Amino acid sequence: MPKRLVDTSVWSLALRRPSPEMNPVVSYLINLLKDAYVVIIGPIRQELLSGIRNQEQFERIESRLAIYPDEPIWPQDYIVAAEYSNLCRRHGVQGSHTDFLICAVSVRNSWPILTTDTDFSYYARYIPIELDSAITAS
């Protein structure tokens, strides 16, 4: 099984929401974590930690994520992300810089993206990303 690039939306469900164990996406993530099939990049870590008002919660989440090193982002990934953004915009699909960087890193490494963010399904119409089928089928 290939590793999954886990998007902020999934990490947030698991680490920032009450009763995460009740969510099937979180259960799936837990199984991936047990088998070491999960990767993260710095911009996802930053998004996840941003906006946490409670310092104790911030430190708890930062500590839990610390065991997962940031996968490298190559200079070319930023160029590809800009190309993806431009391509999608030409088709009327808007997205964040971080989303397109996630897409670029995902494509370069052949990692499916594990996300609950429906924007990625719109990007997938125009760029060659793979979404985790266990989530997209549900």
Determine the topology of domain 4-136 in CATH. Answer: Rossmann fold (3.40.50)
Q: What pLDDT, on the 0 to 100 scale, is given for residue 2?
A: 87
State the 10-residue block means of pLDDT for the chain, 138 residues long: 94 85 87 94 98 95 96 98 98 98 98 96 98 67
Do residues 25 and 57 make contact, with C-beta atoms less than 8 angstroms apart?
no
Q: What pLDDT, on the 0 to 100 scale, is given for residue 18?
A: 77
Do residues 135 and 116 make contact, with C-beta atoms less than 8 angstroms apart?
yes
As a whole number, the mean pLDDT across the chain is: 93
